Chains A and B, each alone.
Chain A
Amino acid sequence: MSGFHLFFATDIHGSETCFRKFLNAGLAYKAEVIIMGGDMTGKMLVPLVAQAGGKFSFEWLGAAYTLEEADLPKYEKQMRMSGCYPYRTTAEEKAELETDPVKLKRLFANEMCKTVAQWLDLAEERLAKTGTECYITPGNDDVLEIDEAFKSSRYVKNPEGQLMVVKGEYEMIASGYSNRTPWNSPREMDEDVLLVHIQGMSQRLANPHKAIFNFHCPPFDSGLDTAPKIDKTFKPVTGITGVEMTAVGSKSVAQAIKECQPLLGLHGHVHESRAAIKIGKTLCINPGSEYSEGILRGCLIWLDKGKVRDYMLTCG
């Protein structure tokens, strides 16, 4: 077989199950390059509140538990595998977290940084001997603090804002930043700023038509970016046609793809918009995400002689 296989997955949102599957994808799919497209950190933190007598109380998947400390690791593992951060605390601290958003934000950041650092170590431990190239870009939901963990990783590359060469042959530019969202997530830019950010990278490409655009945010109105429309209270807008859907992608990303016509566009961000489409000559893919069920949605791409020889959306 000439060329090589590239595996792309995205939006695992703290699911350790999905991250471990991602690391194993290289072997399972015979992929020499694995790329994670962003949003690797979780959204939820589960407090395990200390009670009298050394027990801890918590709620998990709709059920209430009060358990001995020795029984906690099993549930903590379940939480981590599902994308949640278990956090042992006291009733006093929990009450404080409920009323102090700054403290809660700091706690989230700590837990995320700790987990990302552990994951990057795990990646090195699993992949270093295989020679698999591994790229992970933080996405718009990932706090800026986790970038430090990438800087200290000797193996995993964070290509944010950079031009990297995959397998010594394919130029790749990448960004996890998105256009503005109603959630005001950590990595967002106005469209005009995002365009400048992208153009800053694309102008450095030697051969744009053979490049990979690894942008977390999908191109606007492309079919890769269809999400439920929400109102000001974050409630989905419904009508006689059911839940209304709308395009939420980036116009800057769309413009960059139309202008440069790269070989491949790798995107995520909108979990329910799993699709593969052509924009001009560019194959753009959003593999979607089902992280909460522990399913790693991805895309396996066979690159050969500067072309996409074949691709396949996967569900592992």
Chain B
Amino acid sequence: MAEKLVSKSFFVRDATGLVRELSWFDTFLCAFGILNVGLGLVQAFAYAPFVFPGGNIPIAFIIAIPGAFFLGLLNALFTAAMPRSGGDYVWVSRSISPIFGFAVNFFFTFSVIAAAAVNIWYFDSIFLAPMLYSFGLQGAASWITANPSSTLVLAIPALGLLAWMFSRGLQAVKKVLVVLFVLSIVGTLSWLGIMLFSSSGSFIAGFNAAMGANAYQNLIAAAKTAGFAPDPAAGGANTFNTIVYAFQMYSGFQMIGYFAGEIKKVQRSAMQAIMAALGIGAAIFISGAFLVVRYFGKDFVSAVAYFNNTAPASSHLPLGNYLSSMVIFMTGNPLLRALISLGFVATTLWILLPQVLIVTRNLFAWSFDRLIPEWFARVNDRTHSPVNATLVTAGLIFIMLIITLTTSFWSYLVNLAGIGALVTIIVSIAAIIFPYRRKDIFEKAPSLVKAKLLGLPVLTWSGIFTMITQLIVVAICFTVPAIGGAVTWTSLLSSLSVFILAFPLYGIIYAINKNRGLDPKLAYVELPPE
């Protein structure tokens, strides 16, 4: 084994933990697992054509690539500098301060819980009905579409099932994930395949056959009559603004770089993995977005999005105003319908499981750091699964779902994308100052990390460009009321409250821990290396 790792520049002996670099195929597999093309396209086309009317979504996906590239570069370089650290929580803690690290992680965890709640809502209200319809259960599909409260009713057994699955251990979860992945890929490829190999005319014919003569044209006209009137002069600006949604679709690709070995050379794999994920993701999303526009027609998807965001019932679409609901018009083949609709359901669950995993892992990490009681990190003696953390996570998701469905809380949040961008700005500041604040770690980093451009470390440049990109996102999110409501002091403070709340919370926990025994500040005391 040692021979395989020997380089001309150093010798390595047999020792535990030394592993080889990931291949391109391995990277591709990891990247592919993170992408959720079907769901991503459905989400983007459900909102972007309404929020930014006339904007060109495929072009927006292209414009967003440089911004995503710098965020990826930042993640890859931080990972190469601190491969065992495990993400922005530690990066921010070390570059700025532990309290900011906690605040960033606290907000991130909240975002994941909120996103999981939205996924359950999507699962119940958007994807389940088309699947039941495709399986011949039209009555059940109609009941779900007609009763928004069905989401809460269905969420209880869904979350219960989720908690039970996690209580069986990670191996059980993994098996379910593999099945969901296969169903998701088959469904997504079938969906994209129909769009690729069929004409727009065939969709229009299928739609009109099911909904009545000229129904396709009438729907577009109805939207215009109802007030949907994109300003042709604003098309360019709206295309640019749509990058907010493109960033949301791209997000996640950078996370696969967290795995890296201990030999500096191997840490190149972090860069390769992240950039491959971005490249693959961008190519698939751009192609998919072009296909959607070509197949359904830009005016049609805009009209459907308009009704979705203004008066959903006015479209008279039987299964809701989402691209996934169009499957019944795309093909008459019952098997294809079933595969596609089942694929969308699987995709939603495929995302939900890792989200639960992320929250439970963060609860674990906080428990290890004594930020929350160690009760959260207890594992079941038999299955070695984190039962307490899983139950808490399921409970938090359910509470967030109730809040989402019964209050106007989300309108106060302005848009999590905007606040998420604000938090990413903190991470970018950490990247900008890291080479200067933590010279001890920076000097030991591989040359890849220490490389300079115009006198500044590339890590600093990546932080600067990421900050600029995220500032643009913040500006868009906070100046376009359609994204999350009007920006007022109340809404702004509500949005920032989750992030701000972390600071007093940290202070209270600090005081409790100090009172109990060891002074928490010792956890990050910089030991002298001499």
Q: Which A residues form the contact surface with B (CB < 8 A)?
A: 5, 13, 17, 20-21, 24-25, 28-29, 39, 43-47, 58-64, 78, 81-82, 84, 97-98, 101, 104-105, 108, 140-141, 178, 181-185, 221-223, 227-228, 230, 233-236, 238-243, 269, 271-272, 274-278, 288-290, 292-296, 300, 302, 309-316
Our pick among A227, A236, A241, A293 for the contact of B444 (Cβ within 8 Å) is A293
CB-defined contacts of B33 to chain A, threshold 8 Å: 239-242
Cβ of B82 and Cβ of A290 under 8 Å apart? Answer: yes
Cβ of A58 and Cβ of B9 under 8 Å apart? Answer: yes
Question: What mask results when residues 437 to 450 of chain B are scored 1 for a CB within 8 Å of chain A, else 0?
Answer: 00011011111101
Contacts A43-B15, A235-B22 known; A63 to B29 CB distance under 8 Å? no
Cβ of A223 and Cβ of B384 under 8 Å apart? Answer: yes
CB-defined contacts of A235 to chain B, threshold 8 Å: 19-23, 26
CB-defined contacts of B440 to chain A, threshold 8 Å: 294
Inter-chain CA distance A316–B441, complex, in Å, is: 12
Inter-chain CA distance A223–B82, complex, in Å, is: 22
Contacts A24-B527, A58-B9 known; A183 to B18 CB distance under 8 Å? yes
Cβ of A62 and Cβ of B446 under 8 Å apart? Answer: yes
Cβ of B18 and Cβ of A234 under 8 Å apart? Answer: yes
- Give 29 pairs: A residue, B residue, CB < 8 Å, sorted on A: A17-B529, A43-B13, A45-B10, A45-B11, A58-B9, A61-B445, A62-B265, A62-B446, A141-B16, A183-B16, A228-B259, A234-B1, A235-B21, A240-B32, A241-B354, A242-B34, A243-B30, A271-B84, A290-B82, A292-B84, A292-B262, A293-B445, A294-B529, A302-B517, A312-B370, A312-B513, A312-B520, A313-B523, A315-B524
Cβ of B262 and Cβ of A183 under 8 Å apart? Answer: no
Cβ of A47 and Cβ of B262 under 8 Å apart? Answer: no
A41 to B, closest residue via Cβ: B15
Cβ of B384 and Cβ of A290 under 8 Å apart? Answer: no
Inter-chain CA distance A309–B518, complex, in Å, is: 9
12 more contacts with CB within 8 A, not counting A39-B16, A61-B446, are: A45-B10, A46-B10, A46-B11, A104-B11, A234-B18, A235-B19, A235-B20, A235-B22, A271-B17, A289-B84, A300-B518, A312-B522
Is B81 an interface residue, CB under 8 A from the partner? yes
How many chain B residues touch the partner (CB < 8 A)? 78
B169 to A, closest residue via Cβ: A221
Interface centre among B84, B263, B354, B364 (most CB of A within 10 A): B84
Contacts A44-B263, A293-B84 known; A311 to B518 CB distance under 8 Å? yes
CB-defined contacts of A105 to chain B, threshold 8 Å: 13
Inter-chain CA distance A82–B529, complex, in Å, is: 11
Inter-chain CA distance A21–B55, complex, in Å, is: 57
Is B214 an interface residue, CB under 8 A from the partner? no
Inter-chain CA distance A20–B440, complex, in Å, is: 14
Cβ of A292 and Cβ of B444 under 8 Å apart? Answer: yes
Cβ of A61 and Cβ of B450 under 8 Å apart? Answer: yes
* B465 CB to nearest chain A CB (Å): 23
Inter-chain CA distance A302–B516, complex, in Å, is: 11
CB-defined contacts of A98 to chain B, threshold 8 Å: 6
Cβ of A84 and Cβ of B4 under 8 Å apart? Answer: no
Q: Which of B107-115, B305-313, B373-381 is near enough to bind chain A?
A: B373-381
B93 to A, closest residue via Cβ: A315
Our pick among A277, A302, A316 for the contact of B527 (Cβ within 8 Å) is A316
Inter-chain CA distance A68–B528, complex, in Å, is: 30
CB-defined contacts of B22 to chain A, threshold 8 Å: 235-236, 238, 243
A220 to B, closest residue via Cβ: B384
CB-defined contacts of B370 to chain A, threshold 8 Å: 312
Inter-chain CA distance A140–B17, complex, in Å, is: 12
Cβ of B384 and Cβ of A294 under 8 Å apart? Answer: no
